[in-house]
Amino acid sequence: MIDTPLDEIPKINAALHATFASRKTFPLAWRQHQLLQIARMLQENHKAFADAIYADLGKPAFEVYMTELNLMVDRAIISAKRLPEWAAVKNLENHPDLPAHQKSWKPRVTPTPKGAALVISPWNYPLILSIQGTIGAIAAGCTLCLKLSEVTFNYAGLLQRLIPLYLDQDAVRVVCGGVPEVTKVLEQKWDHIFYTGNGTVARIIAAAAAKHLTPLTLELGGKSPVIIDPEFDMELAARRVLWGKINNCGQVCVTPDYVLLTPSSTPSFVENLKKACASFYPDGALKSDSYTRIINMQHFNRIKGLLERTQGKILMGGGMDEQERRIEPTVVLAKPDDILLQSETFGPILTLLEVEDTRAACEYISAHDHPLVLYLFTQNEQLQQDVRKLTMSGNLIFNDTFMQMDVKVLPFGGVGESGYGRQVLENTFNCFTYERTSLEIPVDIEDKIHLRYPPYTAHAFEVECAPGLNVKIPDSSPEEGLRPGL
């Protein structure tokens, strides 16, 4: 990775604005070719990407292909194929709420690119979290500055080298570096900023964007809880929760952060966690080539410090290999005021918090920041409805963890502290476009609209305004809403 010179960043910004002004990125054929070039870049260099991410994170190649690379090849191809549909002008002449006399006005909505976009990607899933935003920006017809995380410098260096070989450099530029570089990037005016990361940095980015009234997409994560119905199969729940936790060693925004369960469920759940862990790592997680390491010593020491300061009881794991930056999947039974429940652990710690019942679990969740995802293990439809009603979260997933990331037709994003905006395929396209409306008012309707002009008269009021006062309002009630048949 080569840091981008600070004096080059304003030039990159100006060049991207100039390219957008030239409308080079508007033709659908150009966009489709760039999207397919992304797929070719990933496919033709798949081993180099897997090797780079392993060098940065120690992530097994299996996880790279399953959770990042293959998904992005697929979504780049789908975006190219579906683009004509997404970008199509919407004709509203037959809209049920459009009065008959306005049909000849040709009401239209055109998805229109916002301009020069900025994508700021994090280190934990470096490929998917840099390429997904790139796909959306290109599909929309924007130009793009891609700011890569300096923490995953092997991946950043690879993409810094490959993007100029595959994508149009007039429209897509890469910026690498740390705090000085991203600070300089944020000083520039962008037409949309797409950021994945934590709330602290998001506030800095939002403040910088506010100076230019730049719209944002923020995907921020937080503490994603798990609720377990005592009647659910504990062996299956433990296996699926642990699998969600060990993906990327818990360094992912949708990892199960803590589990809410009844005291009677704890012994069985913990025993089944131990059983699942032994089956995943027969020789132990610290020695397994199927287990990711902690990204760097700063984060290793942060997680280690959490385990040293917790007042909870460690029920599983806790072992560490500082030289290899590895920490075992660790389960801790804690009280509500424990340090492990104060902020996102972003690591292989799974905290258990005992509650009286599902309602108490919902009350605990609702008393804290809205999570990016809430996981509920139950086959009881009434419990599912109760949790849906009593909580808020970006996503609500029943009976598994992490798998929502594979369902490409679902909008993905948070609410409140876990972020705003939605992504994946057309939803990412929508982030980088706006709905430009248009009308074509006929020139021969003056005789029908002449009463709008001053001076206003009683006759004009009777014709243009009084009818609205006589519209019949349907009957309704708090129980029925709009009464049936009306």
Give the catalytic positions in this structure: 219, 253
Angle of helix 179-187 relative to helix 9-21, nearest 10 degrees, comes to 40
Measured CA to CA, the distance from residue 54 to residue 138 in angstroms comes to: 28
Q: How many CB atoms lie within 10 A of CB 135?
A: 25
Q: Which of 221, 180, 189 is nearest to 4 (CA)?
A: 180
Q: Which of 197, 198, 226 is nearest to 391 (CA)?
A: 226
- Please give the backbone phi and psi of residue 172, each rounded to the nearest 5 degrees, phi first: -130, 120
User: What is each CA distance from 141 to 350, 439, 452, in whole angstroms?
Assistant: 42, 23, 40
The gap from C-alpha 385 to its chain's centroid, in whole angstroms, comes to 25
